[in-house]
Amino acid sequence: MPDTQVGKASCLCGSVQITAGEMSKSMGACHCEMCRKWSGGPYLNVFCGTSVEFSGEEFITVFDSSPWAERGFCKKCGSNLFYRVKSNQIYHLPIGIFDSFEEMKFRNQIFIDKKPGYYDFANKTENMTEAEVFAKYGPSK
């Protein structure tokens, strides 16, 4: 069984339709302050690589959230659509906007040292601290 699948997604109002050609079959959570503010909790997301196509692009607004990444959302309904790494155009999309994700496995959590104490996940996952994330994926990499 391949580790990727084609994923179909949309925003809440349906103005933006997304096809992720290489959607991972595993998802993760980010607990950094920016992701928590953006998503209202941990950012539950799926790696989709660079093979992401949009229809309704006129409804997408992009926010330049850091020197290395940007976040997209629907300017009509406000749905969060993607986190995109600027240097290589790699997309991470919120798992909740996909139409189907039955085969999805919860695999990893990043910025685990920034996770507030008021929630925990029962799943056993691979975890990385802020320092580990920046050492492995930081802007200088």
Decide if pLDDT at 102 tops 80. no
pTM attached to this predicted model: 0.91
pLDDT of residue 140: 54
Pairing of strands 60-63, 52-55: unpaired
pLDDT of residue 141: 46
Average pLDDT over residues 85-113: 93
Of 21, 13, 92, nearest to 60 by C-alpha is 13
Decide if pLDDT at 16 tops 60. yes
pLDDT of residue 139: 65
Decide if pLDDT at 10 tops 50. yes
Do the beta carbons of residue 91 and residue 52 sit within 8 Å? yes
Average pLDDT over residues 38-65: 97
Higher pLDDT, 141 or 136: 136
Predicted confidence (pLDDT) per residue in 109-139, tens digit:
999 999 999 999 999 999 999 999 988 877 6
pLDDT of residue 2: 64
Q: Which sequence spans correspond to the domains of the chain?
A: 4-105
Architecture of domain 4-105: Beta Complex (2.170)
pLDDT of residue 1: 46
